[in-house]
Amino acid sequence: MPHVITQSCCSDGSCVYACPVNCIHPSPDEPGFATAEMLYIDPVACVDCGACVSACPVGAISPDTRLDDKQLPFIELNAAFYPEREGKLPPTSKLAPVLEAPEVHRRGSGPLRVAIVGSGPAAMYAADELLTQPGVQVNMFERLPTPYGLVRAGVAPDHQSTKRVTRLFDSVTQIRGFTFYLNVEVGTHLSHAELLEHHHAVLYAVGAPDDRRLEIDGMGMAGTATATEVVAWFNGHPDFADLSVELGHRRAVIIGNGNVALDVARILISDPNQLAATDIADHALAVLRTSRVDEVVIAARRGPADSAFTLPELIGLTATCDVVLDAADHELVRRDLGTATDPLTRNKLEILSKLGDASTPATRPRIRLAYRLTPRRVLGDLRVDGVEFTVTGTDEVRLMSAGLVLTSIGYRGKAIRDLPFDDAAAVVPNDGGRVVDPESGDPVPGAYVAGWIKRGPTGFIGTNKSCAAQTVHHLVDDYNSGALSEPSAAPSALARLVRSRRPDAVDAAGWRAIDAAEVARGGEARPRVKFTSVPDMLTAAANAPTPPLHQRLLAGLWR
């Protein structure tokens, strides 16, 4: 009964460290870990101890006997990662190195104080790493009253198990030394220089909040949007609650075929009654209930072998939705299968080759994967009525009617006030997380980055664990070597400063009150019903119990 890793794998590697027999790969020290689409359990070496099940933050691991029908392909997928061995077992000793905790050399002048800006996975993993060290203080700043970034506002609502990683994050917020300053925007309410007066270092883990834009005629017309805006809309992000998503036409087109495109296409054709059991925003559910869309075309500019979606997501999609290809695209799949050698690509192509043909009549709303289509312009007068493509590498024109055109061509990082920015790569220039001046190459004292603003918008939730650990190790090295200036302000001064600038700042108790109110609104039927406006979030936060006097004094809130 070996254990099996399934679709919601977050790749953070926690299971690797928990496994006593080193049977989960690639491990964080192995080539390929950073780009791995998921991790795989070796069925021959697995001793069924279940240690990985407890360690996995997203519940992605089960014994092979407990998988449901949709998960069965993952048995073969895990096994296929390991080469034929003719009876020889892989090493069973504990080989995976546990990254050594970044040992902080304590000083008489007070604890290491770090401000983390952002509260998504990279921020939370960085806090977790720092708080392995006794005495360290982490103050986390987040623009919204709710934390956890794309786990809350990016992971699709029908992927609830992936959202379970928030339990791990909630536990980080309860470690001594952690303080939340939610609803506080660094760059508006507090400056970088002010944060440095109160901390030894400021670590930005602000993600990539913008979208890459497709510069073709017609984008911006009514009926166009980006897929990431739609993701934020159906996830109840307050900035996108009023997005107009028009589903009155039978076809929607998504340009680009990464995992975000798959998420959006799946939600657009899902049965609203099933979505009603998730934490999808009510406003999105209401629009989806009136939808006339019965085909979502995901159009890629390259061929099937270069599909940007990952294998686990393709397996998950084809297990739950009708997915079809045109005859010409099936031909492209056969052609690519004839030449592809990489096992991962071959595996994707094998799945694509077994999909239905678009010429067969649809029995329910479905997704069509289309290839070698380069978008040329969006058609329409006042609002979208289609897209004009060329067949990639030729002048041959293809027209496709549609009432909604979404680009899904990737996220894009945004410049941070007072820090350098590499506009081409849309990241903050850095060396292993230390922000560097692009002219001189010298480190910018006290400034660090982790996550997408450090390495660009790639990878999965768990990829941020090793990314954040690298940054934290460098930060602690700099602290230990005396390269970081002592903060000029006393630790207790920060809370007063924040309250003076942002009386509506929300603390961890406020977040817990919002969380509890959302879960209560969900009742028996739904995991939660989210608040989608900041004032509603603040009203719920105000119901947090007042901390006892001694805690308020400690937190410097008593004025």
Residues that bind ligand NAP (CB under 6 A): 214, 255-261, 263, 300-302, 306, 308, 310, 313, 375, 408-411, 457-460
Least separation in angstroms between residue 468's CB and ligand NAP is: 16
Q: How far is CA 505 from CA 240, 499, 538, in A?
A: 21, 7, 9
**Nearest-CB residue for ligand NAP:** 258
Six-digit token pair at 95? Answer: 């080989």
CB closer to ligand NAP, 263 vs 478: 263
Between 232 and 513, whose beta carbon lies closer to ligand NAP? 232
Closer Cβ to ligand NAP, 380 or 459, answer by number: 459
Q: How far is the CB of 196 from ligand NAP (least distance, A)?
A: 31
In eight-state DSSP terms, residue 305 is G
> Nearest distance from residue 460's CB to ligand NAP, in Å?
5
26: preceding bond cis by omega (within 30 degrees): yes
| CB nearer ligand NAP, residue 255 or residue 358 | 255
Closest distance between ligand NAP and the C-beta of residue 166, in Å? 15
Return the number of the residue (145 or 375) whose C-beta is nearest ligand NAP. Answer: 375
- The residue among 45 and 405 lying less far from ligand NAP, judged by its C-beta, is 405
Which residue, 25 or 301, has its beta carbon nearer to ligand NAP?
301
CA 197, CA 192: separation in Å to the nearest integer?
9
Which tokens go with 110?
A: 């007070």
CA 465 – CA 169 distance, rounded (Å): 12
Contacts of 26 (CB under 8 A, 6+ apart): 32, 33, 36, 39
Q: Are 434 and 443 in contact (CB under 8 A)?
A: yes
Bridge partners for 254 per DSSP = 298, 406
* Closest CB 476 distance from ligand NAP, rounded Å: 28
Q: At what angle do helices 311-320 and 259-269 cross, to 10 degrees?
A: 10
Residue 288, SS3? helix
221, 380 in Cβ contact below 8 A? yes
Q: In the complex, what is the shortest distance from the CB of residue 369 to ligand NAP, in angstroms, rounded to a whole number?
A: 11
Q: Which residues contact 509 (CB under 8 A, 6 or more apart)?
A: 544, 545, 547
The CB-of-261 to ligand NAP minimum distance in angstroms stands at 6
Closest contact distance (angstroms) between CB of 231 and ligand NAP is: 8
Q: Which two tokens stand for residue 167?
A: 């339990």
Tell me how crowded residue 86 is: count the other CB atoms within 10 A of its CB: 5
Collapse the DSSP code of 245 into the 3-class scheme (helix H, G, I; strand E, B; otherwise coil) and give the result: coil
Residue closer to ligand NAP (CB basis): 223 or 462: 462
